[in-house]
Amino acid sequence: MDISKHVPAWIRTLTPYQPGKPIEELEREYGIHDSIKIASNENPLGPSPRALAALTAALPNLHRYPDGDAFYLKRRLAEKLGIDRSRLIIGNGSNELIEMIVRTFLRVGEAVVVGKHAFAIYHLVVQAAGGRTIRAPHKGFKFDLEAMARAITPDTRLVFLDNPNNPTGTIYVRSEWEAFLQSVPADVLIVVDDAYLEFVDDPDYPNSLEYHDEGRLLMTLRTFSKICGLAGVRVGYGVSSPEVIDALNRIRQPFNVNSLAQVAALAALDDEEHIRRTQENNRQGLAYLRRELDRLGLEYAPSWANFLLVKVGVGTYERLLPEGVIIRPMEGYGFPGYARVSVGTPAENARFIAAMEKLLKQKAKS
């Protein structure tokens, strides 16, 4: 049956998001074991131990529906952030919140501005809603916020920024951000995706939450997937004005965040030791990878996140798979020959470097 006439053109032409290859799939394909995946910017130390304990305690209540308002998680977040609960919304990962924002504020044919190399989900969600994506150029590996402001049209409703940027790992600094805020029309909602905020150690990094009380349309998104190691349960949150949150809640699905995600996130929020260990592992891992990549003569972008964008050469992703190493090719982001390499455990980092060195030696002999 041909159903194409029933499907809008913007859906028919949509290319689905392709997540990183799972370890299980790789090992089935190649008949290998003990593979590593350093492709999806996951926490190599695993979930917060406090979250695991909370999950175990919550299992007997799985026959009950979750708290549709995520009351306890919102209350603790509000305390930690110093804001009112009315400014918070909890989502099934920040991806759900991105989709809710677009569905709420974008009409068919209207525009959204993103960076040329921004997180791919922004464009996919906009196209799925029948909107137009305007891609502003980057300056090398960095956002060009001046170019993004110039790209805004009269029918632009949203601007998406990810800071640090995924997949480059770069940031924009406070002076760039403040100038950008002054140049964006008051009726455009600026959405800042802070997925990698906790890995940044730079005094010039602008915390978008500090700018919410200045009468502008602004939303901050954060996730428990990265620093807290809870990617598998899907939970994130958004901060904005009560009016924006109220509009989003009108389309939010009932029970959109499951009970396990809620208790895990609540426990992980106060697991300062796990957060500290994750940050230290990342700091040391980035230093090791930079040092070893320099030794191998491989170029990479500066990064303030938990990954590096590395110029590994075309075809390297495929050649690493039989070695049991999964990285993320970046051709789809406009970086042919580059791959995103997540910081792993010390052993995983060393294995990646050893595999790269092996491939480079093979290439030199051929």
CATH number of the domain to which 111 belongs: 3.40.640.10
Same domain (yes/no): 293, 261 = no
Q: What is the CATH number of the domain that holds 296?
A: 3.90.1150.10
Q: Do 148 and 110 meet the contact criterion of CB atoms below 8 Å apart?
A: no
Both 28 and 86 in one domain: the answer is no
Give the start-end residues of each E strand in the chain.
Answer: 36-37, 88-91, 111-115, 132-136, 138-139, 142-143, 156-162, 189-193, 218-223, 236-239, 307-311, 325-326, 328-329, 338-342
pLDDT at 15: 87
Are residues 235 and 161 located together in one domain of the fold?
yes
Q: How far is it, in rounded angstroms, from Cα 94 to Cα 87?
A: 16
Question: Prior bond to 22 cis, omega within 30?
Answer: no
Same domain, 223 and 126: yes
| 143 and 256 fall within a common domain | yes
Q: Are residues 127 and 190 in the same domain?
A: yes
**Cα separation of 277 and 227, whole Å?**
10
What is the spatial distance between Cα 325 and Cα 362, in angstroms, rounded to a whole number?
A: 17
Per the CB < 8 A criterion, the answer to whether 352 and 36 are in contact is yes
Looking at residue 1, what is its pLDDT? 80
Q: What is the pTM of this model?
A: 0.95
At 188, phi and psi to the nearest 5? -105, 125
Give me the pLDDT at residue 3, please.
85
Block means of pLDDT (10 residues each) for the chain, 366 residues, are 86 86 91 95 98 98 98 98 98 98 98 97 97 97 97 99 98 98 97 98 97 91 98 98 98 97 99 99 99 98 98 96 97 96 99 98 85
Number of domains comprising the chain? 2
Of the three residues 241, 269, 297, the one that is the final residue of a domain is: 269
- Sequence-distant (6+) residues with CB within 8 A of 140 are none
Instruction: Report DSSP state, residue 156.
Output: E
Q: Are residues 262 and 353 in the same domain?
A: no
Q: Are residues 163 and 205 in the same domain?
A: yes
Q: Which of 242, 269, 296 finishes a domain? A: 269
Q: What was the pLDDT predicted at 2?
A: 83
CA neighbor of 262 nearest in space, from 211, 300, 224, 219: 224
Neighbours of 52 (CB within 10 A): 17
Looking at the fold, whether 202 and 283 belong to one and the same domain comes out as no
232 and 295, same domain (yes or no)? no
Q: How far is CA 209 from CA 220, 257, 273, 317, in A?
A: 7, 23, 24, 38
**Of 206, 234, 269, which marks where a domain is finished?**
269
Domain ranges, residue 32: 4-46+272-365
In this structure, the answer to whether residues 224 and 303 fall within a common structural domain is no
Same domain for 25 and 53, yes or no, is no
CA dihedral 52, 341, 115, 173 (to 10 degrees): 80
Give residue 254's identity as a one-letter amino acid code: P
Q: What crossing angle do the helices spanning 120-128 and 93-105 adopt, rounded to 10°?
A: 40
